[in-house]
A and B are shown apart, each in its own frame.
Chain A
Amino acid sequence: MDLKLKIWRQSGPDAKGEFKEYPIQDISKDSSFLEMMDVLNEQLVSKGEEPVAFDHDCREGICGMCSLFINGRPHGPDDAITTCQLHMRKFHDGETVTIEPWRAKPFPIIKDLMVDRSAFDEIIQAGGFVSVSTGGVPDANAIPIKKVNADLAMDAAACIGCGACVAACKNASAMLFVSAKVSQFALLPQGRVEAKERVEKMVAKMDDIGFGNCTNTYACEAECPKEISVANIARMNREFFAAKVS
């Protein structure tokens, strides 16, 4: 299939960016979107042009490194997958594909389609952990945990930290990301010990970094490659409320 790619090029964080158009031919329907980008970059390099910078690593939908806002949607026109799992059969011959970086103040552009998501690490560092040191912990079966809670915690823990929630949200809010981590620990007895401090610190850090406010549009849930539920946001709101009134 042949495509017309409209790709955002920006040389650095403060540079002015613009769309550049690249026609590309003979792409197999069975190739993945990033393999299509590889082909483009191979062609650019052969012509002596600078390849398009974009983040990617595991290429199996788990590391959370790949991003891209494709035709108006984070991770492109398919549900519950990352860009690296997107396949070209989701596009039709002759289509114009617009590719932008994720845009949010806390995710500054590094180059082209690559953004800096260290804001997420900062939020985790603020409280996204259980304060236990190595060694000196009880036997794993010493604390029985209801299966339903363990499963819900796993649902929340499935977050890959890709930032699609922020990218999709019209407010660039990070609530789904933050609430997923808060929920995981809130649901488990190990995490309950520090539940109050955790939710307060993580929300404060999120606000401090400059993410937007949640207005319950649920675009985050619709675009999350791991289908993390907005029920986690509600749980975090409860946790926050409980922390503030206690």
Chain B
Amino acid sequence: MSNLLSLSSVAKKIWMSLMGLFLFTFLLVHLSLNLTMITSPDSGLFNEAAHFMGTNPFIQVFQWVLFAGFIVHIILGLILQVQNWMARPNAYKKKASSEQSFFSKYMIHTAVVIFVFLIIHFLNFFLVAKGLIGEIGEVTIDGVTMEDMAGLVFDLFANPAYVVFYIIALLFLGFHLDHGIQSAFQSLGLNHPKYTPCIKNAGRLLAIVITLGYVLIPLVIYFTK
């Protein structure tokens, strides 16, 4: 923590963006796994994948790296935000109206929503899958008995309130990514007159695609299962 505090502003931003991009790759992997729930009809593939992720020793180690990534991104984000508030103790009385990257204004707000979602998500799935809280059914695929993660998901997505909450949270993730992806490139110094417009567009497109992908799953499950 004190190490993070003593980093210069630019170093903090570089770490922030590296962690952000790292978490973004995790989102891609996670999404590709989730999509198997609606692509393979009996959702066995999803359970198998979840089982692989839950038992593979490399993944088991790597999940701590991922966890650390989250922690660094969150703590740095908080430090940055608090310092930024401190840099202007007396706010403007008239609302500032300069043109700027729209969601950049709300990164801390979208982050808080995502953080709350993350905790609930953790309680709903990760800790349950680990057998630490709640109960989870079992299935046997090709002679291997494993947790019925798909069943857990289907149960939760049967609840319309949960679906709505999930979709809203994921929209906020989309907002966060819309600014976050291109911003990470800028913080890493990757700005070029030719490529930056592409990066900005690709970042926005990815944010939309990822959000749509995640949002599609509960909708399909809710309306078809």
A touching B, CB within 8 angstroms: yes
B80 touches A241 (CB 8 A): no
Contacts of B225 in A (CB 8 A): none
B16 CB to closest chain A CB, in angstroms? 9
Q: How far is the CA of A156 from the CA of B189 in the complex (A)?
A: 16
Q: Does B11 contact A (CB under 8 A)?
A: yes
> Cβ of A214 < 8 Å from any Cβ of B?
yes
Cα distance A27–B162 in the bound complex, in angstroms? 60
Is chain A's interface secondary structure helix, strand, loop, or mixed overall?
mixed
Min Cβ gap B23→A in Å is: 17
Bound: A57/B9 CA distance, A: 33
- Count how many chain B residues have C-beta atoms less than 8 Å from C-beta atoms of the other chain: 41
Known: A216-B179, A223-B98. A241 touches B84 (CB 8 A): no
| B83, B98, B101: the one within 8 Å of A213 (CB) | B83
The interface residues of chain A lying within 8 Å CB-to-CB of B187 are: 214, 216, 237
Whether A237 pairs with B13 at a CB distance below 8 angstroms is yes
Is A234 a contact of B186 with CB atoms below 8 Å? yes
* B86 contacts across to A, CB distance below 8 A: 105, 210, 212
Which B residues touch A223, using CB under 8 A? 98
Q: Which residues of A contact B80 (CB under 8 A)?
A: 213, 215
Q: How far is A235 from B97 in the complex, measured between Cα atoms in Å?
A: 27
CB of B84 within 8 A of CB of A171, answer yes
The residues of B with any CB-CB pair to A shorter than 8 Å are 8-14, 80, 83-84, 86-101, 104-105, 107, 179, 182-183, 186-193, 196
Q: 7 closest pairs, A vs B, by CB?
A: A238-B189, A234-B191, A212-B87, A171-B84, A72-B97, A172-B87, A237-B189
